[in-house]
Homo-oligomer: A and B are copies of this chain.
Amino acid sequence: MRRVELAKKVLSENARLAAELRERFHQNGVLCLNLVSSPGSGKTSLLEQTLARLPQKSRVAVLTGDLQTENDAIRLSHFGFPVKQITTGGTCHLDAGMIDHHLADWDLADLDVLFIENVGNLVCPSSYDLGEEAKIVLLSVTEGEDKPLKYPSIFFKSEVAIITKMDLLPYVPFDMEKLIENANTVHPGIQILKVSCATGEGLNAWLDWIEMRREKVSPSRAVAIT
């Protein structure tokens, strides 16, 4: 019982801090997106392709989480936008305190979009609100169409499911209709985008979605990201 009470306390402290972050994002008109997936589903690749397509004037930044390495920040730093690595030292998820800490020397008034790349884990990150406007779950076609049923929490909490590695579809037994059915069973109406970072398929639709969502957060802002 002590364990349950303590877990509740940790999560309620996280929720309090996440609410503060969300308020700061809103005040500054920042669209904050929290990307969650299994290891190797392509979060970093999607962010690389996203940053590569944004005009240099875009006011975009990335916080990227990992257990140990700084590899993802190195990969993402080539595009000229601010990028910071959050190394969790083994912790299986990002939490609101880590986001708050790593934002300390950035001025949110300078940003339109903040991407957060969570630790590769389809389970634990779904329990930790980071103050984001929306969670985005990524699932590659090689992982199987059953995953929304097996990992329902993250699919329930995500506004969009991005199906990645569409270029591998001809080579794997992935049933797209069943995936759409499974995702809608867990989260009726969830938006599904299909992308391939290898061929570029679906990336424009993803950028359009970001822009649509950014306009909702800050309708009066003149400078679009795309």
Point out residues on A near B: beta carbons under 8 Å: 2-3, 6, 10, 38-40, 66-69, 71, 90, 92, 119-124, 140, 142-144, 146-147, 149-153, 165, 167-168, 171-172
Residues of chain B lying within 8 A (CB to CB) of residue A90: 123, 153
The answer to whether B38 touches A120 (Cβ under 8 A) is yes
A36 to chain B, nearest CB (A): 12
The answer to whether B147 touches A68 (Cβ under 8 A) is no
Complex Cα spacing A153 to B67, Å: 10
State the oligomeric state as a number of copies: 2
Complex Cα spacing A68 to B149, Å: 7
The answer to whether A121 touches B119 (Cβ under 8 A) is no
Residues of chain B lying within 8 A (CB to CB) of residue A149: 68-69, 71
The answer to whether A122 touches B120 (Cβ under 8 A) is yes
Residues of chain B lying within 8 A (CB to CB) of residue A39: 38, 122, 143, 147, 150-151
A200 to chain B, nearest CB (A): 15
Complex Cα spacing A156 to B38, Å: 20
The answer to whether A40 touches B144 (Cβ under 8 A) is yes
9 extra A-B contacts, CB within 8 A, seeds A3-B6, A67-B153: A39-B143, A71-B146, A71-B150, A119-B123, A120-B151, A140-B142, A167-B171, A168-B171, A168-B172
Complex Cα spacing A152 to B168, Å: 27
Residues of chain B lying within 8 A (CB to CB) of residue A167: 171
The answer to whether A68 touches B171 (Cβ under 8 A) is no
Q: A150-B68, A168-B171, A168-B172 are in contact. Are A122 and B121 (CB under 8 A)?
A: yes
